[in-house]
């Protein structure tokens, strides 16, 4: 049996509309699954729990998310569509959770890829994690 590439799929959540984040994550996750990858999407997993009343910020979800990053081979970060108030890149830059996930993934020596939702392609972008 072929070993599947394990991907952690990241997208901002609290800095954007939760339903939109959920829908975009699900769409990209399905695409990656159909391409033969094994994908964990924390937003796909947790958004239904939020709907049921589970509340938590990054501190609440951090341990769970970092353990899934340990499980994965790489991370794919979705660059969400621009809004009239903020660009997709700015959403990534201001997302505490996504920034922490990227930093942790890189510290573990794993690749981080950026998927531009607008163009549906992987792109290279400047470093998004500050060196603080």
In a domain, 126, yes or no: no
Residue 61 has pLDDT above 60, yes or no: yes
| Domain assignment of residue 67, yes or no | yes
129 domain-assigned: no
Which residues contact residue 33 at a Cβ distance below 8 angstroms, ignoring those fewer than 6 apart?
Answer: 39
Is 71:61 a contact under the CB 8 Å cutoff? Answer: no
What is d(CA 103, CA 110) in angstroms, rounded to the nearest whole number?
A: 10
Structure confidence at residue 131 (pLDDT): 47
Residue 130 is predicted with a pLDDT of 47
Q: Any idea what the CATH number is for the domain that residue 30 is in?
A: 3.40.50.10400
Q: Which residues, 6+ apart, have CB-to-CB distance to 61 below 8 Å?
A: 42, 46, 97
Q: In this prediction, what percent of the chain has a pLDDT beyond 70?
A: 95
- Tens of pLDDT, residue by residue over 11-60, are 998 888 889 999 999 999 999 999 999 999 999 998 888 788 888 778 88
Q: Which two tokens stand for residue 43?
A: 């937003």
């Amino acid at each position: 049996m072929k070993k599947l590439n394990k991907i952690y799929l990241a997208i901002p959540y609290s800095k954007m509309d939760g339903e939109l984040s959920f829908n975009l994550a699900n769409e990209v996750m399905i695409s990656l699954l159909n391409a033969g990858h094994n994908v964990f999407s924390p937003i796909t997993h947790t958004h239904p729990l939020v709907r049921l009343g589970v509340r938590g910020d990054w501190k609440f979800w951090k341990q769970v998310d970092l353990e899934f990053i340990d499980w994965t081979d790489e991370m794919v970060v979705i660059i969400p569509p621009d809004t009239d108030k903020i660009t997709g890149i700015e959403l990534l830059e201001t997302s505490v959770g996504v920034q922490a996930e990227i930093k942790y993934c890189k510290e573990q020596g794993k690749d981080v890829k950026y998927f531009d939702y607008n163009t549906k392609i992987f792109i290279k972008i400047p470093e998004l994690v500050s060196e603080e």
